[in-house]
Amino acid sequence: MTKTSFGEYFDDQRDRMIKDMQNKNTQLNNAWREDYDKRQEKKKHERFKKELEECNEKGIEISQECKTYFKKRFEWGRRNP
C-alpha cells in the first residue's frame, strides 16, 4: 500500500494519529486482558471452593489441583498479611 503525501504537516499529523490509535488499542487490550484474568481467577476460585465444600460434605479427598491451589493461596496470605 502506498501512502499519498498531502504535505509534511498533514503527513506528520496522520502519523501522530496512527501512533495514538495504536497506543489506545494497546491500552484497551491490556485493560481487557486484566479483566479477563480476574474473571478466570474468580471462576477457578469458585470451582475449587465448590469442590472443597462437596468433598467435605461427602468425606472424600479433594483433587491434587485443588490442594495445590489452596496451598498457594494460604502461603501467599501468610507472606502478605
Q: What is the pLDDT of residues 58-77, one digit of tens each?
A: 888 888 888 888 888 888 76
Listed in sequence order, the residues at least 6 apart from 52 whose beta carbon sits closer than 8 Å to its beta carbon are: 62, 66, 70
Q: How many domains does the chain have?
A: 1
> How many Cα atoms sit within 13 Å of 2 on the Cβ side?
3
pTM: 0.60
Residues in the chain: 81
Look at residue 7 and tell me if it is in a domain.
no
How much of the chain, in percent, has pLDDT values that exceed 70?
93
Cell of 68: 495445590
Report the pLDDT averaged over residues 17-42: 92
Domain contains 1: no
- The answer to whether residue 74 is domain-embedded is yes
Give the per-residue pLDDT at 4: 77
With respect to residue 10, please indicate whether it lies within any of the assigned structural domains: no
Q: Is residue 34 part of a domain?
A: yes
- Consecutive H or E run containing 57: helix 8-58
Q: Is residue 9 in a domain?
A: no
| Residue 45 belongs to domain spanning | 20-79
- Domain presence at residue 46: yes
